[in-house]
Amino acid sequence: RVLAAAGLHRCVALDARPAEEMNTACLLYQGGGCGAITDKETCLNSRDGRALDAVAGRDTRSQPCVWCGGAPCGLAGGNICESFSGVVGNPAVQPPPVWVAANCLDGRDLEESFERVGGGASPGAAAARNGFEPASVGVDRACRGDSVGEEPGRWPYSMWSAASLEECMALCAGDCAGVEYRREDRYCEVWAERIVSSVPMPGFECHRKNAWSPNAAAGAPTALLGSAAPGVA
């Protein structure tokens, strides 16, 4: 069973509902996955943004994170934070004493989640725009790449939450080809494959990285906010 916390430290209900039925609108996407997170505060304000629909047959994409009480969650790698479906109902997991699922039962919004994990401007974020160009003229455009929909279960981008377009661009390191950003809900896509075009989509922006090579050395961060995010103030 999962102990669902209305506040980050006050547990109010046992909740083992499927992840898709839980209130997750306030949770921050972590493109490096829940397993990259090493502190409780960030884990309980996050959801999995990896470019995979599932790992080892368990759903990952958009799943709320689960804090395993500071102990290994029971999966390979010994992570103390994992995606909901990786832990809950997984017969391969030897459960820790307490599983606490990230949720928004206390009524907080996305901005408050940013505040709780201590998010701040990433070094170089202000200058990040210099390395990008719009994929098309104007705004209200969403990115499109070579392989969208071609490889079932794998996406050409990971999902993050970023306080600004510049913060989104700052996440585009290593082999990143560009970003898509929606300011309304701080939604950021970090593309690992070539962006070939953009399509009309209200509220979105699509930007290609100027100096992109598919063979560039990987260097993307593994978590966006909180103590699990090196380089984030």
- Which residues, in sequence order, are bridge partners of residue 161? 187
* pTM of the predicted structure, to 2 decimals: 0.81
Residue where the block lists tokens 């950021």: 188
Could you tell me if 19 and 105 are in contact, meaning their C-beta atoms sit under 8 angstroms apart?
A: no
Confidence grade of residue 92 (pLDDT, cut at 50, 70, 90): confident
| pLDDT of 181 above 70 | yes
CA distance 69 to 99: 6
| pLDDT of 225 above 60 | no
The mean per-residue pLDDT over the stretch 103-131 comes to 80
Q: Which residue has the higher pLDDT, 158 or 126?
A: 158
For CA atoms 135, 137, 139, 140, the dihedral sign is negative
Burial (CB count <10 Å: 0-12, 13-18, 19+), residue 228 = buried
Buried-exposed string 127-143: b where 16+ CB fall within 10 A, e elsewhere = ebeebbeebbeeeebbb
| pLDDT of 88 above 70 | yes
CA distance 191 to 139: 18
